[in-house]
């Protein structure tokens, strides 16, 4: 029971924290997000936030930023490479997210990183053409 309360409290707090994520110029993402990126945000809050943090910079389980400054996201080369890696996530149970949900999380991460625009969506067939720097 205590764990459920903690998780629920953490997720409610995380939703508050992730709601106003900002672009580098200070403008909010949420009002401009594609449905895919909005879904990716929700899946990130539910399944990724604890390990990777609200800002993608550090979480309880992973201390290296997954987007933004100091990230290792570029090592995947493109959205397909990141999606392939996402087959291992979430680490506690990779079956918690299906392919569409994992692609939405990838889109959300890439929007946070600036590799795609918040209004964009990623089609599976085009993922290999979306580079990550």
Instruction: Render the burial of 57-79: b for 16+ CB within 10 Å, e for the rest.
Output: bbbeebeebbbeeebebeebebb
d(CA 82, CA 128): 10
What is the SS3 assignment for 28? strand
Q: So where are the chain's domains?
A: 2-129
Domain 2-129: CATH architecture, name and number where available: Orthogonal Bundle (1.10)
Per the rule left: phi > 0, alpha: psi between -120 and 50, beta: everything else, 77 is: left
pLDDT in tens, the chain (133 residues): 333 333 333 444 444 344 444 444 434 445 689 999 999 999 999 999 999 999 998 888 888 899 988 888 999 999 999 999 999 999 999 999 999 999 999 999 999 999 999 999 999 999 999 999 8
């Amino acid at each position: 029971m205590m764990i459920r309360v903690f998780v629920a409290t953490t997720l409610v707090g995380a939703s508050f924290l992730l709601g106003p994520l900002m672009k580098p110029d200070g403008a909010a993402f949420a009002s401009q997000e594609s449905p895919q990126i909005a879904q990716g945000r929700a899946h990130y809050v539910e399944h990724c936030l604890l390990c990777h943090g609200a800002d993608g910079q550090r979480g309880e389980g992973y201390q290296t930023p997954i987007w933004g400054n100091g990230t290792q996201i570029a090592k995947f080369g493109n959205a397909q490479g990141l999606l392939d890696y996402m087959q291992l996530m979430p680490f506690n149970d990779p079956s918690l997210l299906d392919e569409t949900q994992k692609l939405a999380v990838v889109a959300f991460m890439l929007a946070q990183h600036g590799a795609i625009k918040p209004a964009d969506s990623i089609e599976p067939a085009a993922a290999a053409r979306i580079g990550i720097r």
